A and B are shown apart, each in its own frame.
Chain A
C-alpha cells in the first residue's frame, strides 16, 4: 500500500467510524442512563434511511427531508418511550430483549407494507455532489466529507450538552443514581423521555445521512446494530466519549481489515472486542 492509498483508506476509516458513532452514541446513552437493552436501535437507523428516501422524493431535496425527518424521529422516540419503554424500566433485561426483538419484526414488516421491499437510491444534494481529486484517478466524494463534518459537529455538541448544560448534569446524575436524582425533585421520567428521543433521532439521522451512499434496503439496520453493540462494549456503557473512541477503532479495524486480510474482515472487529474484554471487561471508558 503506497502512502496516498494509506491516506485515503484513513479517510474512509474516519468517515465510517464517525457514522457508526452517531448510531452508537444514542445506544450507549439509553443503556447507561435508562438501563435498557434496546435491540430495536438498528431499526431506527433503517427508519431514518427510509424517511430520507420517502421525504426526499416528496420534497425533492435531502436537506428538506432531514429537516423534516429529525423532528419526526424525536416525536417517534418520545412516543415509543411513553407507550412501551417506560413500562420496561423495572423489568429484567430478558423482557427488554424480548420486547425490542418483537419491535424489530414489527418495524421491518411495517416498512415492507408501507414502502415495499425494493432497493432505493437517494440522490446526493447537488451542492455536495462534486468530488475532490485526490490522486491521479481517484477522487473523493465531497458528500462523504460532509458526513464526517456533521458527525464531528454533533459529537462536539453532544459533549457540550452533557458536560456544560443543566440537562447534561441531570443526565450524568441519572447515569449514576436514579433515586438520588428523584430525591432532588428532578422529573426523571422527563429526562428518560428526552434521552430516548435523542437516541432515536441520532440513529435516524445516521440513517438519513447514510442513505445516499449506502442505498436504502430491507434489514439494513441489523448489521449496524451489532456493530454498535461491539462499540458500546468496547467503549463502556454510558460513555459517549468511549463510544467515539471505540467507533473510530472499529472504523479503522474494519476498513484496513478488508484490504489487508480480506478473509478475516468480518471477524476483525470481534477480535478487537475480545481483546478489550480480556483487558477491561467493563469497557475502556467505564466510569465508576
Chain B
C-alpha cells in the first residue's frame, strides 16, 4: 500500500483516538467509545446503502438482535466468555439478516425501504411484546463478558480503558475487513449492482445471491456494533431496534457521504457531536436537527463529504455543475 496523505490522515486520526483515555475524563471516554460503536454500525450500513445501493431503513434490527443476544446468552450473575458470546451474537445478527434478506430483496426501490422498515418493526415487537427479552422493560447485562482463555486473561472488559481500546481495535478490524471485501471480486460485483443491476444480470451474475450475501454481512457487522453497545451500557431495550435508531444510522452514513468508509466514521462523530451540542443548547434540539436535515437535502445534495468539493470549486471560480 502506498503511503500517501490519505493514509497519513487515517493514522493521525487513529493516534488521536488512541490518546482519548489518557485525558482521564471517564465521561468523555465513554462518549467517544459510544461514538466508535455507532461508527462501526454506520460502516456496516454503508456497505448496503453506499456500495450496493440498497437503502435499508431497518438496520437497527440486527444491531438490536446482537445486543439482546449478549444479554440473553450471558448467565445472570456470572461472566460469559467473550470468545463464545461475540461470535454467537454476531452470527445470530447475520442469520436474522439472512432470513429477512430473503423476503426484502424480492422488492426494490420504495418497497425495499418500507419493507426493511416493517421487518425491523417486527423485531421490535418480538422483543417488546414477548417475555423473551423482558418486554418493554428491557434486560440488564449484569456482568460483562470475560476475555479469559485457558486461564490467561489478555484484557479485562470491566476496565473502561481496556474496553475502550477493545472497541477501537474492533473499529479498525471492521474497517480493514470491509476495505478488503470491497476490493475483492465480490465487492466489485456489489458496486456493479449499485450502478446497474440489469447489466450485472446480463453479464451472468445472479445478483440476488450477491445482494443477500451483502445484506447478511452488513447485518453481522451491525451485530458487532450491537454487541459492543450491550457490553458498554449493560442494558438493552426494544428501543435499540426502533425506527429512530435506523433513521439515525442512515443519517450518519449520509452525513459522511455514502460509499466512503471513513466518511461513515466521520458521520457518526458529526452526528453525536451535533446531538450533544444541540441538546445542551435547547430542549427542543430535535427541531434544530430537523431543520438542518431539511436544509441539507434541499441545498446540499451529496452529503457532508461533497462540501469540500463544492467549496473547492467555488474557490476556483469554476462552475458547480460537474
Establish whether residues A97 and B250, one from each chain, have CB atoms under 8 Å apart when the complex forms.
yes
Q: In the complex, what's the smallest C-beta–C-beta distance from B15 to chain A, in angstroms?
A: 33
Contacts of B247 in A (CB 8 A): 101
Contacts of A37 in B (CB 8 A): 110, 113-114
Other-chain contact of A105, B104, B107, B290 (Cβ < 8 Å): B290
Question: Chain B, 258-289, contact with A by CB distance < 8 Å: what is the 0/1 string?
Answer: 10000000000000000000000000101101
B273-315 with Cβ < 8 A to chain A: 284, 286-287, 289-294, 296-298, 301
**Docked complex Cα distance between A80 and B103 (Å):** 34
Other-chain contact of A106, B104, B251, B291 (Cβ < 8 Å): B291
Q: In the complex, what's the smallest C-beta–C-beta distance from A225 to chain B, in angstroms?
A: 9
B73 sits at the interface (CB 8 A): no
Question: Chain A, 266-288, contact with B by CB distance < 8 Å: what is the 0/1 string?
Answer: 11001101100110011100000
**Docked complex Cα distance between A263 and B243 (Å):** 21
Count residues on chain A whose CB falls below 8 Å from chain B CBs: 45
B5-60 with Cβ < 8 A to chain A: 49, 55, 57
Closest A-chain residue to B107, C-beta based?
A281
Establish whether residues A35 and B128, one from each chain, have CB atoms under 8 Å apart when the complex forms.
no
Contacts of B289 in A (CB 8 A): 102, 105
Establish whether residues B117 and A229, one from each chain, have CB atoms under 8 Å apart when the complex forms.
yes
Other-chain contact of A94, B49, B124, B284, B298 (Cβ < 8 Å): B49
B126 sits at the interface (CB 8 A): yes
B102-116 with Cβ < 8 A to chain A: 103-104, 106-107, 109-111, 113-115
A123 sits at the interface (CB 8 A): no
- Contacts A98-B293, A99-B294; A105 near B287 (Cβ below 8 A): yes
Contacts of B117 in A (CB 8 A): 226, 229
A104 sits at the interface (CB 8 A): yes
**Docked complex Cα distance between A81 and B180 (Å):** 44
Q: In the complex, what's the smallest C-beta–C-beta distance from A96 to chain B, in angstroms?
A: 8
Count residues on chain B whose CB falls below 8 Å from chain A CBs: 44
Contacts of A267 in B (CB 8 A): 122, 125-126, 129
Question: Chain B, 126-137, contact with A by CB distance < 8 Å: what is the 0/1 string?
Answer: 101111000000
Contacts of A281 in B (CB 8 A): 106-107, 111
Establish whether residues B293 and A102, one from each chain, have CB atoms under 8 Å apart when the complex forms.
yes
Establish whether residues B290 and A98, one from each chain, have CB atoms under 8 Å apart when the complex forms.
no
Contacts of B119 in A (CB 8 A): 270, 274
Contacts of A35 in B (CB 8 A): 110
B205-248 with Cβ < 8 A to chain A: 243, 247
Q: In the complex, what's the smallest C-beta–C-beta distance from B202 to chain A, in angstroms?
A: 21
Establish whether residues B293 and A99, one from each chain, have CB atoms under 8 Å apart when the complex forms.
yes
Contacts of B286 in A (CB 8 A): 105, 108-109
**Docked complex Cα distance between A37 and B117 (Å):** 12
Other-chain contact of A99, B104, B106, B124, B297 (Cβ < 8 Å): B297
Q: B: which residues have CB within 8 A of A?
A: 49, 55, 57, 103-104, 106-107, 109-111, 113-115, 117-119, 121-122, 124-126, 128-131, 243, 247, 250-251, 254, 258, 284, 286-287, 289-294, 296-298, 301
